[in-house]
Amino acid sequence: MKCSSYIPEHVSECLQLAMLLEVSAYPKPGNVHRTADFSDTRYEHFLASAVVVGRFFRKAAERGVLIGLGELEPKKVELGKIIKDAVEKVSSWISGGNTILGTIILLSPLAVAAGTNLIKEEKFHIESLRQNLRLVVEATTPVDAVNLYEAVQLARPGGLGKVPELDVNDPSSKKEILERRISLFEIFRIASKYDSVAAEWINNYHITFDVGYPYFVKELKHTKDFNTATVHVYLKILSEVQDTLIARKLGKDKAEQVSLEAKNILELGGLGTLQGRERLIEFDCRLRKSGNKFNPGTTADLVSAVLAVSILDGHRP
């Protein structure tokens, strides 16, 4: 794994595969999957997005390799620009709505960290990956923050709402960020109160590594089925962490109800039992009513990160 030209390609393949397997998992309640679409965003839009974004993951991993070789400082990775360029390219390829903004925000630092990990170590190490991740996200700059704001404006995700400080839709926010020298990491510290993707950056990917990854590995070993393990880890995260997209759109009480149902389905055995499967299919159908307002989109982003780490660690479908 020491060949520096091979590492970025390997990292990108792992992350793209994670995205493809996440969106293909079914019946993944409330989100697009291989047998269910939204009116404006279809399964094939996600497939196209996963293909297009590969070059940007490669670029991120290349810069991670340079960090590991001592040839690049983490603050010069330009993570915000990588995210913005990836979102812009995806937007030019698909006609649907936002597909993978949250996933790009989570996986781009992972790509950098994995590049550093694999060039410095004889093999992949989870602990080293997390250390590298912290280094990468904490080194982000105000320019990274401005680029992230522009990426959000390009993607036009639903359920953003309005926040009292440095609102992404406020034209003056970018100027204030540069004047006050507020890094992207600090922006996410503010946003972490109401967004799980931002909270992952701040908390060293706690949900990904401490909740999702060990549960996914356990389920994969138990079921020997990648789809089942993916759906189950989706339910596990949803049961323990209120989906912040639902919470912003409909309130915390509704998000809590969704989490409780996910927990109940897991307790029934999920896809492993007839009763659990029937309840899961009914749950999926119910969440799709009312114009997909109940789609747990943030949970899907988190599952992509879990799968990315698992695939980097050698787990394969």
Q: How far apart are CA 215 and CA 234, in angstroms?
A: 10
**pLDDT over threshold 50, residue 191:** yes
Output the pLDDT for position 166: 79
CA distance 94 to 92: 6
Q: What is the pTM of this model?
A: 0.95
**Phi first, then psi: what are they for 262, rounded to 5°?**
-60, -40
Q: What is the pLDDT of residue 1?
A: 46
In percent, the amount of the chain with pLDDT more than 70 equals 96
- In tens, the pLDDT along 175-189 reads 999 999 999 999 999
pLDDT of 158: 62
Note the pLDDT tens digit of each residue in 283-308: 999 998 877 789 999 999 999 999 99
Q: Which CATH superfamily is domain 6-312 in?
A: Triphosphoribosyl-dephospho-CoA protein (1.10.4200.10)
Q: How confident is the model at residue 167 (pLDDT cuts 50, 70, 90)?
A: confident
Tokens of 178: 């540069």
Distance CA 61, CA 77 (A): 10
pLDDT value at residue 14: 98
Beta pairing partners, 198: none
pLDDT tens digits, residue range 229-258? 999 999 999 999 999 999 998 999 999 999
Whole-number pLDDT of residue 159: 53
Query: Is the preceding omega at residue 142 within 30 degrees of 0, hence cis?
Result: no
Q: Which of 54-63, 134-143, 287-296 has the lowest mean pLDDT?
A: 287-296
The residues near 263 (Cβ < 8 Å, ≥ 6 apart) are: 235, 239, 240
Question: Domain limits of the chain?
Answer: 6-312
